Structure 1
Amino acid sequence: MYKLIEPEVAGSLGKETELDNSVFPPDVKKLNYEFDGWLGDDILESFPCYIVTESLRETLEGNKFTGVSFHEVIISKSETFSELYPDRELPEFYWLKISGEAFKDDFFITEENILAISERAYFVLQNYNINNADIEDLEG
């Protein structure tokens, strides 16, 4: 059993992002996630990338989930973010790279470019803030 998850979008790809637009979805070489706002979720999206808080990364690594790896992300704040939340500190985030095989690994990207997670991964994610993510069952 798998679930589709569409995480909170708290920003966009920043100026320092390096990507190849000649393929779809774009192949991102270096990720800069620029925050415009943040409702507090531990997993965030800005197509075609996902980022997670350090605490969620540690839990995912500790549970040895398949189909994911973690990489450095450059975090920045837009002018909008700075105006809305002048004193808000952001936690440490990591780039959640998805490489899983459909219906085999705990994390994979569907043909519709939506993140799919195993029931085991969903069970763990429920211990984190995912209040602003859209989640539904994946018919397999």
Structure 2
Amino acid sequence: MTEYYSVEPEVAGRATVERRAGSRPTLTYVFDGWRGDALLESYPHFVVTEQLATELDRARLDGYEFGPATTEASETFRRLYPDQTPPSCRWLRVDGEPGRDDVGTDADGVLVVSEDALDRIERVGFDNYGSCTRYDPDGE
């Protein structure tokens, strides 16, 4: 039986979504800081680095699709990391059911991933998350 985990990724900035008639929505993630994780959050949105997007696609996991994303550096980011630029990212649009699909969100918007998905996320870089606990569908 597959194990699932509730994950609260690093929050490295803020996300906004732009919707234009006749085109897909685009997410912009403005970095205020970044400690190197490949999975990031700005509630209720998630972004992944290009490297993690490639890894997840290779694994043929389910419960998500990628949407377009742009990244920007805030004044704070430029001051803290004068020689760095934010990574290129993709919008992780989650549509899976928690505890069934590889990627899903629970009723509170918390990301829930399968053990296989978590292994791949950790392989690419996942050291600065808020929390990562075994998923309990009953909330106990």
The two structures have a TM-score, normalised by structure 1, of: 0.86
* Moved segments of 4+, more than 6 Å: none
Query: Displacement of 1:90 after TM fit?
Result: 2.5
> Does residue 81 of the first structure (1) align with residue 83 of the second (2)?
no
Selected match of 2:92 from 89, 96, 112: 96
Runs (5+) with no aligned partner, structure 1: 20-28
Report if the CA contact (8 A) 2:73-2:85 is conserved: no
Q: How does 1:2-41 map to 2 (within 5 A)?
A: 2-14=4-16, 17-18=17-18, 29-41=25-37
SS of alignment partner, residue 74 of structure 1: strand
Q: How far apart in 2 are the matches of 1:124 and 1:74? A: 23
Equivalent residue number for residue 54 of structure 1: 50
Equivalent residue number for residue 107 of structure 1: 103
> Does residue 135 of the first structure (1) align with residue 137 of the second (2)?
no
Q: How far apart in 1 are the matches of 2:59 and 2:42? A: 25
Runs (5+) with no aligned partner, structure 2: 20-24
Query: Displacement of 1:137 after TM fit?
Result: 0.6
Identical-residue share of aligned pairs (%): 36
Report if the CA contact (8 A) 2:73-2:86 is conserved: no
Selected match of 1:72 from 60, 68, 72: 68
Query: Displacement of 1:132 after TM fit?
Result: 0.8
Q: How far apart in 1 are the matches of 2:33 and 2:52? A: 20
Report if the CA contact (8 A) 2:28-2:71 is conserved: yes
Q: How far apart in 2 are the matches of 1:72 and 1:35? A: 16
Query: Displacement of 1:91 after TM fit?
Result: 2.5
The two structures have a TM-score, normalised by structure 2, of: 0.86
Task: Report the AA paired with residue 104 of structure 1.
Answer: R
Selected match of 1:123 from 116, 119, 136: 119
